[in-house]
């Protein structure tokens, strides 16, 4: 379901559902953070709070911000599902490897994994909206109605979307590789901007979204040692798994 196909009422419902899900994320992480000493995860509550705030600000922003970003979000799928588009912007492979180093292929894959966090969100939202429409719900939904919509999404699809959170933090925690990815994406954007008749503003903005996420992720995680980074990944994965188990009645 594309954004353009939505009626004003359905569009309002979509953004209401986004805000409901953000509130759910915030609530479940606050609960875990408040009792993090009991989880066995060696992570300071302040660091865990930073991770939650990073996700809600830069990966799954509030609906007001999403209105501004949706055109770029819509373009991201083209790059995620057709990685040759990014490869093609780097010119010849030998020259690119000389410029960016032997880690080039791994850095490209890391960049695409970061972009997948956005595309997974749009697919999830389409399914969530369809579930609400099928049930005849209108904004505002109660918490119980919202959970019904979540449970109506196929388990495999929901697991994939939520799992992307853990994958994203795993990717950005490798700050050495991430620094290479940032350089590559900056070069990609430079080449796109040099061809305004070939690449649209929304396409450039789509890659810009990914670059901004990587830049901010690097600034967030680079100061921490490897032990803390592993604890961060464990914290995210554990929190998401607990939520999935509770949703599916385990």
**CA separation for the pair 28, 13 (Å, rounded):** 23
Residue 78 reports pLDDT greater than 60? yes
Structural tokens at position 164: 């992307």
pLDDT band at 230 (very low <50, low <70, confident <90, very high): very high
Sign of torsion over alpha carbons 156, 160, 161, 166: positive
pLDDT reported for residue 79: 75
Average pLDDT of span 192-212: 88
pLDDT reported for residue 198: 83
The radius of gyration of the chain's CA atoms, rounded to the nearest angstrom, is 19
Structural tokens at position 195: 């061809």
33 C-beta neighbours (distance < 10 Å), count: 20
pLDDT, one tens digit per residue, over 23-75 is 999 999 999 999 999 999 999 999 999 999 999 999 888 888 887 777 777 78
pLDDT reported for residue 2: 44
pLDDT reported for residue 1: 43
pLDDT, one tens digit per residue, over 95-142 is 676 677 778 788 888 888 877 887 888 889 999 999 999 999 999 999
Q: Is 91 left (phi over 0), alpha (psi -120 to 50) or beta?
A: left
Nearest residue to 83 (alpha-carbon basis) of 119, 48, 42: 119
Report the percent of the chain where pLDDT is more than 90.
48
pLDDT band at 12 (very low <50, low <70, confident <90, very high): very high
pLDDT reported for residue 20: 96
Residue 234 reports pLDDT greater than 90? yes
Dump strand ranges (E) for 37-180.
none
Average pLDDT of span 147-166: 89
Q: Choose the most confident range, by mean pLDDT, from 184-188, 195-199, 234-238.
A: 234-238
Structural tokens at position 25: 């994320």
203 or 90, greater pLDDT: 203
At 250 the three-state DSSP class reads coil
Average pLDDT of span 151-161: 88
Average pLDDT of span 224-232: 96
pLDDT reported for residue 110: 84
**CA separation for the pair 214, 179 (Å, rounded):** 8
pLDDT reported for residue 5: 66
């Amino acid at each position: 379901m594309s954004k353009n196909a939505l009626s004003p009422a359905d569009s309002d419902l979509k953004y209401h559902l986004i805000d409901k899900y953000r509130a759910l994320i915030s609530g479940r992480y606050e609960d875990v953070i408040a009792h993090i000493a009991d989880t066995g995860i060696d992570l300071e509550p302040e660091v865990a709070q930073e991770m939650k705030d990073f996700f809600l600000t830069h990966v799954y922003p509030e609906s007001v911000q999403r209105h501004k970003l949706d055109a770029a979000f819509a373009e991201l799928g083209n790059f995620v599902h057709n990685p040759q588009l990014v490869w093609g912007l780097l010119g010849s492979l030998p020259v690119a490897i000389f410029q960016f180093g032997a880690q080039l292929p791994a850095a490209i894959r890391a960049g695409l994994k970061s972009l997948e966090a956005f595309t997974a969100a749009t697919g999830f939202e389409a399914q969530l909206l369809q579930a609400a429409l099928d049930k005849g719900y209108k904004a505002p939904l109660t918490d119980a109605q919202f959970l019904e919509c979540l449970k109506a999404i196929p388990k495999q699809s929901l697991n994939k979307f939520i799992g992307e959170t853990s994958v994203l933090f795993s990717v950005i925690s490798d700050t050495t590789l991430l620094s290479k990815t940032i350089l590559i994406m900056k070069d990609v954007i430079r080449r796109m901007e040099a061809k305004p008749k070939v690449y649209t503003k929304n396409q450039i903005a789509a890659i810009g979204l990914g670059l901004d996420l990587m830049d901010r992720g690097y600034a967030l995680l680079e100061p921490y040692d490897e032990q803390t980074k592993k604890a961060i990944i464990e914290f995210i994965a554990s929190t998401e798994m607990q939520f999935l188990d509770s949703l599916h009645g385990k």
